[in-house]
Structure 1
Amino acid sequence: MNWDRIEGNWKQMKGEALKQWGKLTNDDVDVAAGGREKLVGRIQERYGIAREEAERQVDEFTSRM
């Protein structure tokens, strides 16, 4: 699934994102609101990981959807 479709279906994908990244809060996911870069930033902050790793995780998430 491409990111445009994820953005368009963010309300449905939100639950999947919360399952994937348990440290994210509802507010984190709401702020991201389907924006890839915002989601990457929130994951990076909450997990204390490098941007590249957060991007890799988001890419995996996208490919599974």
Structure 2
Amino acid sequence: MRITRSWREQKVMLKLRFSNLSDSDFEFEEGDKESMMNNLANKLNKTREELMRLFIELQSY
């Protein structure tokens, strides 16, 4: 995946698209990004693959 948007931009775009997300949903400890991604997928009722497709989609806006 080619990343063209910053993490901050991606967070804002996801929060605009999914009003149930908050800043705390994007927090993670050093080396524990996988846990955050799993929590996001659960909160959005998406599979990890669907979540990854969302991030890829954000790169095309």
Q: TM-score range by the shorter chain?
A: 0.5 to 0.7
What do you get for the CA RMSD once the two structures are aligned? Answer: 2.8
Map 1:14-53 → 2, pairs under 5 A: 14-29=11-26, 31=27, 40-53=37-50
Tell me: CA distance 1:52–1:46, structure 2 relative to 1, closer, same or farther (3 Å).
Answer: same
Spell out, residue by residue over 1:6-40, the C-alpha distance to the aligned partner (whole angstroms, 9 max, x if none): 13xx2xx14323102222112113x16xxx85664
Q: Distance in 1 between matches of 2:60 and 2:54?
A: 10
User: Which protein shows a greater Rg?
Assistant: 2
Q: Would you identify which runs of 4 or more consecutive aligned residues in structure 1 move more than 2 Å?
A: 14-17, 36-43
Q: TM-score, normalised by structure 1?
A: 0.57
Q: TM-score, normalised by structure 2?
A: 0.59
**Number of equivalenced pairs:** 55
The residue type paired with residue 63 of structure 1 is S
Higher helix share: 1
The answer for unaligned runs of 5 or more in structure 1 is none
1:59 aligns with 2:59: no
